[in-house]
Amino acid sequence: MNEEKKEKPDNELGQREFFRKYNKLMKEEKWNKDKIKEFINKNEKRIFTRGNRYIGTHRDHIIIKKIEEYEGVKFIKEIKEIQEMIRGIGFIAGGRVRQEIGNSILGREKNISSDDVDIYCYREEDRKRLVETFIDKGYEMSFMNSNCVNFTKPMKVQIITSFYGDISTVIDEFDFTICRVGMDEEYFYMDKDFEENLKNNLLVIKTVQCPIGAIRRIIKYTKKGFFMTGFQMLKLYMDWDSRSNEYKEELVKYLMKMEKSEDGKLSQEEFEELESILIKVD
């Protein structure tokens, strides 16, 4: 007779396993906002401690422009509402901002759309407050882990919880120039090469968090019509060469395990370790 498999207590679950369990429960049981907030308060260390990283000071190659400089930028009603909700505690960066500027300077024929709104926090203590703000406003949470919290309705929103800082320094952590853009209520913040590279559909690497992770993102953007020169690709090889032997061995070990496994998967603990390597700056 088979013994019934006992469920592990929460303190024995890895991060991915823990969030898989509770994301499933949240959907199945249709948690209301009070239950979600209670869960967040109880598991605050799980949700808001990964990375726990403040990003430095302003970089000279990030330029700032008034939103009014771009004719035709008309944010939809939901974006304006989000701007009011996050005023002083968070800001929008990445794909959605690129879409708004691109629509103004290039027209809507360009394939630069973004499905969701990525929001970052100015300060460490703002992360929990920002998440609770969206819950209180009736946004429907769809997913959470130690990197981000996602909402689906009334529109897709992703709150990044793994690092925080002011706008110009956060976007300076982004890899491609076409991603290095953010906004507050009055200004756009962007890499000095953002507009030129966007107009030319060019992927230019400014920062490499992990060369393998970068390759996955290159594939994503080439499907959107962007391309990368040979020299930019060379940057990934140069970055790989500069990494420590320990870093390379770790990454190769986990990728080989995935390659050799029957289903192409790692254990929960192994997956979490690989995920940490992919976002780690060596």
pLDDT tens by residue, 217-255: 899 899 888 999 999 999 999 999 998 898 888 888 888
**For the chain, percent of residues with pLDDT exceeding 70:** 82
Q: Is the pLDDT of residue 45 over 50?
A: yes
CA nearest neighbour of 276 among 176, 206, 207, 209: 209
Residue 7 confidence (pLDDT): 75
Residue 93: partners with Cβ closer than 8 Å, 6 or more residues away: 118, 119, 120, 167, 170, 171, 174, 181, 182, 183
From CA 181, how far away is CA 103, in angstroms rounded? 14
Pairing of β 157-164 and β 62-66 = unpaired
| Confidence tier at 78 by pLDDT (50, 70, 90) | confident
Cβ proximity of 45 and 37 under 8 Å: no
pLDDT in tens, 134-156: 999 999 998 888 888 999 888 88
Residue ranges of the domains in the chain? 12-207
Residue 186 confidence (pLDDT): 87
Q: Is the pLDDT of residue 114 over 80?
A: no
- Top pLDDT among 194 and 7 is at 194
pLDDT in tens, 154-182: 888 999 988 888 898 899 889 999 999 99
CATH class of the region 12-207? alpha beta
33-42 vs 15-28: helix crossing angle, rounded to 10: 160
If one counts every other C-beta atom within 10 angstroms of the C-beta of residue 159, the result is 24
| Confidence tier at 50 by pLDDT (50, 70, 90) | low
Residue 219: partners with Cβ closer than 8 Å, 6 or more residues away: none
- Top pLDDT among 215 and 108 is at 215
Residue 109 confidence (pLDDT): 47
For the chain, give the mean pLDDT.
Answer: 82
